[in-house]
């Protein structure tokens, strides 16, 4: 595992973007995994106008709500379109999402899992982390070998996402999400987080036991993980060998 700690979310986004750029420059037709939510936005900001040619990449979203029209601005399809496809100049349809409108959602989840395999797997998976330690929509209790599936959202996750809706009651209760086992099969995992409110769960995920109560602790099982944080998110790691970046702006090795 390697770690970079930067002064601001914007600097963390630039450092994470450098990891993505390196991947795409080395493999122009790379398969990227895209996260939504607030965590990766500084990364996408930094990639915009970077001059890197993303026209040949393919991608997969981590998850999608069940029950929202793809044109709904709160759907992850809409977020991926506006924050990733349009800003990075990707080809239309380059990023696939689960078919949450399918009559058989379980079959749609299996089809999505197979599509990732058919693409040769994800080369670089971008990740955020939830306040309860969820990765994608793998809530506490998710099996470490879980696959893409229909999942019920935890109440804390729905409360956290309620800011995007007119009322908490409008937040969907179901989603299709890649499983932890699916995520762990990506060649390289890139976790970005910022803000003091993520400090405790970051410390638990990276330094606590590998435990299904903290799904993000599964990161410790992967052979190639890059973690990029701002100083507020890294505060819980200080004094444990994690608090100092290797090189400013460049992910460096942890102890």
- What is the C-alpha to C-alpha distance for residues 29 and 121, in angstroms, rounded to an integer? 12
Report the pLDDT value the prediction gives residue 221, as an integer from 0 to 100.
Answer: 97
Q: Identify the residue with better confidence: 197 or 158.
A: 197
The answer to whether 139 touches 153, Cβ cutoff 8 Å, is yes
Report the pLDDT value the prediction gives residue 164, as an integer from 0 to 100.
Answer: 75
Report the pLDDT value the prediction gives residue 238, as an integer from 0 to 100.
Answer: 58
Tens digits of per-residue pLDDT, 61-83? 999 999 888 788 888 999 999 99
Number of continuous H segments (helices) and E segments (strands) in the chain = 8, 11
What secondary structure does DSSP assign to 185-200, as a single string?
Answer: TSSEEEEEE-SGGGHH
Report the pLDDT value the prediction gives residue 168, as an integer from 0 to 100.
Answer: 79
Q: According to CATH, what is the number of the domain 2-248? A: 3.40.50.1360
Active site amino acids: 63, 132, 134, 139
Tens digits of per-residue pLDDT, 101-128? 999 999 999 999 999 999 999 999 999 9
What does the radius of gyration of the chain's CA atoms come to, in whole angstroms?
17
pLDDT category at 251 given cuts 50, 70, 90 is low
What are the residue boundaries of the structural domains of the chain, listed by start? 2-248
Q: Identify the residue with better confidence: 152 or 162.
A: 152
Share of residues in the chain with pLDDT > 70 (%): 93
Indicate if the alpha-carbon torsion angle 147, 148, 150, 156 is positive or negative.
positive
H or E stretch covering 21: helix 9-26
Q: Identify the residue with better confidence: 247 or 191.
A: 191
């Amino acid at each position: 595992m390697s770690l970079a700690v930067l002064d601001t979310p914007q600097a963390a986004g630039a450092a994470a973007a450098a990891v993505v750029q390196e991947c795409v420059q080395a493999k122009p037709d790379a398969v990227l995994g895209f996260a939504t939510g607030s965590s990766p936005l500084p990364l996408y900001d930094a990639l915009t106008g970077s001059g890197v040619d993303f026209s040949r990449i393919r991608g997969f979203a981590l998850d999608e709500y069940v029950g929202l029209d793809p044109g709904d601005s709160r759907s992850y399809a809409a977020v991926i379109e506006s924050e990733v496809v349009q800003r990075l100049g990707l080809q239309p349809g380059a990023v696939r999402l689960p078919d949450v409108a399918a009559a058989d959602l379980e079959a749609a989840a299996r089809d999505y899992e197979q599509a990732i395999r058919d693409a040769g797997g994800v080369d670089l998976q971008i990740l955020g982390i939830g306040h309860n330690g969820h990765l994608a929509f793998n809530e506490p209790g998710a099996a470490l070998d879980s696959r893409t599936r229909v999942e019920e959202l935890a109440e804390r996750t729905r409360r956290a996402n309620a800011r995007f809706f007119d009322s908490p009651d409008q937040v969907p209760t179901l989603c299709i999400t890649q499983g932890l086992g699916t995520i762990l099969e990506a060649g390289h995992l890139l976790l970005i987080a910022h803000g003091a409110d993520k400090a405790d769960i970051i410390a638990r995920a990276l330094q606590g036991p590998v435990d299904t109560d903290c799904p993000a602790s599964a990161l410790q099982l992967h052979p190639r993980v890059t973690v990029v944080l701002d100083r507020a998110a890294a505060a819980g790691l200080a004094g444990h060998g994690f608090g100092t970046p290797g090189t400013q702006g460049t992910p460096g090795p942890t102890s």
